[in-house]
Structures are given as C-alpha cells and as structure tokens.
C-alpha cells in the first residue's frame, strides 16, 4: 500500500505539467505558418516528450488501479476472515456458558467433563478463569456426592453380607462380611456391624466347641434352656448369651448385635 501511495503522488506531480499540453498544441498551430524556427522545434520536441510521458503515466496509473483493486479485494477477504473468527469466538463463548450452566443444574460427571472441554477452547482469559472457578466449585460438590453414594452402596452390600452371615452362620460368610466392612471408613455404623460379626463369630466358635466337646453346654436333665429375662440369665451364670447358644433369643438382645444380656 505504501508503494501505491508513492506512485500516486509522483503521478499527481507530473499531471500538473500535462495540463499545459493542450495549450502548447494550440501555440504550435498558431505559429505553423511562420516556419520551423529553432524555438518551435524545441517546443515540438518538448510536446512529443510530454505526450510520451503522458502515455507512460497513463500506463502507470492503470497499473496502480490494478494494484488498488487487488488491495481492495484482499482487504475484503481479511475483513470476512476477521468476521468469521469473531463469530467462531462468540459461538465458543456461548457454548461454554451453556455447558457450565447445564453442569450446575445436573451436577453429574458427564456434564462436568463436557463443561471442561468447552471452557478449554476459549481464548478469552478472563471468561475462562471465571468459568473454571465455577467448574471447580461443582467438581468439589460432585466429589462429595459421589463419596456419599459410594458409601451408601457399600453399606447396602455390608448389610446384605452380615444378614447372610447371621442366617447361615458359616466362617466363609463371616469372612466375606468382614472384608466388606474393612472398606468402610471408621464410623458408628462400622462399630455396629463389627459387633454383629463378632457375635456370629462367637456363636460359630461355641458351636464348633460343642461339636468337639458335647458335654460343655449340656443341660441338666429337666432344666429348661428358656430364660424369661436377663436377670434369669445372670442368675443362672449364663450371661452373656451369644447367637447360637442355648437360651439366646432376640428378645434378650435389645440392640440386636448378637449378644444378649451383656
């Protein structure tokens, strides 16, 4: 564009002289009948040179016009390209805002990942930082939510394992329940399940001991294994009673941990 301007200025300077061409032509015609003096020859020579230069200037002007047209075309292309870039950035901005908004409503891992991808494409640093902060807030909430859901699933599995262990009273089931319980963080719930597991393990130990020494828990003939209350159990010297022992009943086990009259 700089070259174009320089050429245009040069043409403008020379064009002042070209205005004199018609005037010189008129003069030449007026003195034609007076003969070809040296001055007239000089004027004709200047006229010819001016005409030649005029042709050259016209050609250069035409070239400049072509350059100008080309610059206009290129400039238009640049403008269109710039508009396309701006529209693309606007769309990315809208998409990112929508993705983050959806994430805040649903609070799911899928929407969180989609929001992260959309924000990563942004060029606007300020907007990117603001949306990233909102994502971090939701991600913290989501982690807490997932942790609670995982614990709830684990408690359901532990309850099923302990219930099965209490019903079947086998060491295999007892170990499976203990393995599940080991995954649970320390809490009152863990203590509760541990007591139930311990009670069943004790009952299993008692049963196995009875099988090896049948007389250990043999009752006196005619004596009832029924205890109406814990006072009777303690009076008989049988407290505490564990699941599987003679005289144990859920009625005497108030907290349901498998140990009665503790």
- Segment 193-200 mean pLDDT: 87
The predicted pLDDT at position 241 comes to 84
3-class SS of residue 206: helix
Mind listing the pLDDT tens digit for each residue in 208-249?
776 765 444 444 444 446 787 887 787 777 888 887 788 888
For the question of whether the overall pTM of this predicted structure is more than 0.85, the answer is no
What is the pLDDT, as a whole number, of residue 177?
87
Residues 6+ apart with CB under 8 A from 64: 4, 7, 8, 11
Compute how many other C-beta atoms are within 10 angstroms of the C-beta atom of residue 53. 14
- Residue 17: pLDDT band (50, 70, 90) is very low
257-261: average pLDDT: 82
**171-193 pLDDT, tens digit each:** 888 888 888 888 888 778 888 88
Among 87-96, 111-120, 131-140, 181-190, name the one with the lowest average pLDDT. Answer: 181-190
Name the percent of the chain in helix, strand, coil, to the closest 5.
Answer: 75, 0, 20
Please provide the average confidence, as pLDDT, over all residues in the chain. 79
Query: Using the 8-state DSSP alphabet, how is residue 228 labeled?
Result: S
For the segment 158-167, the average pLDDT, to the nearest whole number, is 88
Between 141 and 8, where is the model more confident?
141
Q: Write the pLDDT tens digit of every residue in 43-67.
A: 888 888 888 888 888 888 888 888 8
């Amino acid at each position: 564009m700089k070259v174009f301007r320089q050429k245009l200025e040069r043409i403008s300077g020379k064009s002042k002289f070209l205005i004199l061409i018609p005037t010189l032509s008129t003069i030449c015609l007026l003195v034609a009948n007076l003969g070809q003096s040296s001055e007239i020859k000089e004027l004709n020579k200047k006229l010819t040179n001016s005409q030649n230069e005029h042709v050259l200037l016209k050609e250069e002007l035409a070239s400049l016009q072509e350059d100008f047209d080309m610059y206009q075309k290129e400039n238009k292309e640049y403008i269109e390209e710039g508009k396309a870039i701006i529209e693309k950035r606007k769309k990315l901005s809208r998409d990112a805002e929508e993705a983050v908004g959806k994430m805040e409503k649903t609070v799911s891992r899928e929407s969180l990942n989609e929001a992260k991808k959309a924000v990563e494409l942004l060029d606007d640093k300020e907007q990117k930082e603001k949306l990233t902060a909102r994502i971090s807030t939701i991600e913290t909430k989501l982690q807490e939510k997932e942790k609670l859901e995982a614990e709830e699933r684990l408690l359901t599995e532990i309850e099923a394992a302990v219930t099965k262990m209490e019903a079947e009273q086998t060491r295999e089931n007892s170990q499976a329940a203990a393995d599940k319980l080991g995954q649970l963080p320390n809490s009152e719930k863990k203590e509760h399940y541990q007591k139930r597991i311990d009670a069943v393990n004790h009952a299993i130990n008692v049963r196995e001991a009875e099988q090896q020494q049948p007389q250990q828990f043999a009752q006196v003939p005619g004596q009832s294994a029924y205890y109406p209350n814990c006072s009777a159990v303690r009076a008989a010297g049988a407290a505490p009673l564990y699941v599987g022992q003679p005289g144990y009943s859920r009625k005497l086990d108030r907290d349901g941990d498998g140990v009665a009259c503790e």
